[in-house]
């Protein structure tokens, strides 16, 4: 699970998310997002937005001269599938995830409120550097809580159509292990063959497992992880890392390519992200 932070005096951006389900919680100001031919708005302390993987156009607003503050949370398919398994909710087989986007009114809908307030509490602990985050198992507890609430919401809305990637499947275990290795070695991995070797798999087996589980290649997933981590570094208020520092720390060795794929993913240059810090 990836937790981010967006601060802005107001901007418009096009974002592409292909890795999991996204929750966007405004803490100050409001946002308007268009995806899947639908437009939704979310206002701080009133609502949030939930998306399937998509390309969406988002505008954020900071009324009264205040700064917009939002918390995007991305929950990978593998974590959602594992949560469904723990909760005894069967996965419905589908070739792809059904597209969806809707507003979560946490004042009117109990499940929405539980998910949104959970995301807010998690962000609060991260933002203030809570010592609880250093305790064993805390990250897993937060990840399980959020993924289980997403499962409840999707099931309640009749939208629980996800790729067949339950953790009990062999391919699901391969993907989970590979993702864990990627996250732990973002700056060191040079070739995907290293990931396959670390997991005791052939390149072909690893590629097929990712294709079947998340409809992405291992390289696409690794790049997604690296971009999310680089963005978090560039937005961190107390981190003095330059664009070059962030790129190299996340395993990007060609700065031109980093700027290009970053722009494709987030709709702005890394330097523009850093300037908002």
Query: What does the alpha-carbon distance between residue 111 and residue 157 come to, in Å, rounded to a whole number?
Result: 11
Q: How far apart are CA 169 and CA 166, in angstroms?
A: 6
Give the Cα separation of 116 and 104 in Å (integer): 8
pLDDT at residue 63 in the model: 75
The CATH number of the domain holding residue 153 is 2.60.120.10
Q: Walk across the sheet containing 54-61 and list its strands.
A: 11-17, 54-61, 30-35, 38-43
Q: What is the mean pLDDT of residues 183-206?
A: 92
Task: Quote the domain boundaries for residue 84.
Answer: 2-163
Q: Are residues 90 and 220 in the same domain?
A: no
Could you tell me what percent of the chain has a pLDDT over 90?
22
Are 131 and 63 in a shared domain?
A: yes
Where a domain ends, among 115, 139, 163? 163
pLDDT digits (tens, 9 = 90+) for 243-258: 999 999 999 999 999 9
pLDDT of residue 256: 92
- For 57-95, the pLDDT digits (tens) are 888 888 777 788 999 998 887 788 788 877 777 655 433
pLDDT of residue 196: 94
Q: Give the model's confidence band at 100: pLDDT under 50 very low, under 70 low, under 90 confident, else very high.
A: confident
Whether residues 108 and 187 share a domain: the answer is no
CATH number at residue 251: 1.10.10.60
- Select from 139, 163, 187 the last residue of a domain: 163
Model-level pTM greater than 0.75?
A: no
Confidence of residue 277 (pLDDT cuts 50, 70, 90): low
Residues 167 and 176: beta-carbon distance below 8 Å: yes
If asked whether residues 129 and 151 sit together in one domain, one would say: yes
* Predicted local confidence at residue 73, as pLDDT: 92
Query: Is residue 98 domain-shared with residue 186, that is, in the same domain?
Result: no
Average pLDDT on 169-196 reads: 87
Number of domains composing the chain: 2
pLDDT of residue 98: 53
Give the model's pLDDT for residue 252: 94
Query: 80, 162 in Cβ contact below 8 A?
Result: yes
């Amino acid at each position: 699970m990836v937790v981010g932070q967006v601060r802005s005096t107001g901007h418009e951006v096009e974002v592409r998310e292909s890795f999991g389900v996204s929750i966007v919680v405004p803490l100050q100001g409001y946002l308007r997002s268009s995806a899947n031919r639908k437009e939704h708005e979310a206002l701080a302390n009133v609502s949030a937005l939930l998306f399937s993987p998509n390309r969406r156009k988002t505008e954020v607003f900071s009324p009264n001269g205040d700064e917009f503050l939002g918390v995007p949370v991305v929950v990978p398919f593998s974590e959602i599938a594992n949560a469904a398994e723990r909760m005894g909710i069967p996965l419905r087989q589908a070739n792809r995830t059904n597209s969806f986007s809707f507003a979560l009114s946490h004042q009117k809908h109990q499940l929405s409120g539980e998910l949104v307030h959970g995301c807010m509490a998690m962000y609060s602990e991260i933002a203030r550097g809570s010592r609880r985050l250093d305790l064993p198992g805390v990250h897993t507890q937060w990840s399980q809580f959020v993924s289980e609430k997403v499962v409840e919401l999707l099931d309640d809305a009749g939208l629980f159509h996800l790729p067949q990637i339950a953790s009990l499947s062999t391919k699901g275990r391969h993907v989970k292990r590979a993702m864990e290795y990627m996250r732990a070695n973002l700056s060191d991995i040079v070739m995907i063959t290293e990931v396959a070797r670390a997991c005791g798999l052939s390149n072909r087996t690893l590629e097929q497992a990712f294709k079947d589980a998340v409809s992405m290649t291992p390289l696409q997933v690794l790049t997604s992880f690296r971009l999310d981590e680089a963005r978090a570094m560039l937005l961190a208020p107390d981190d003095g890392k330059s664009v070059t520092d962030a790129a190299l720390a996340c395993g990007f060795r060609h700065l031109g390519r980093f700027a290009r794929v970053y722009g494709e993913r987030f709709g702005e240059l890394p330097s523009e992200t850093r300037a908002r810090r």
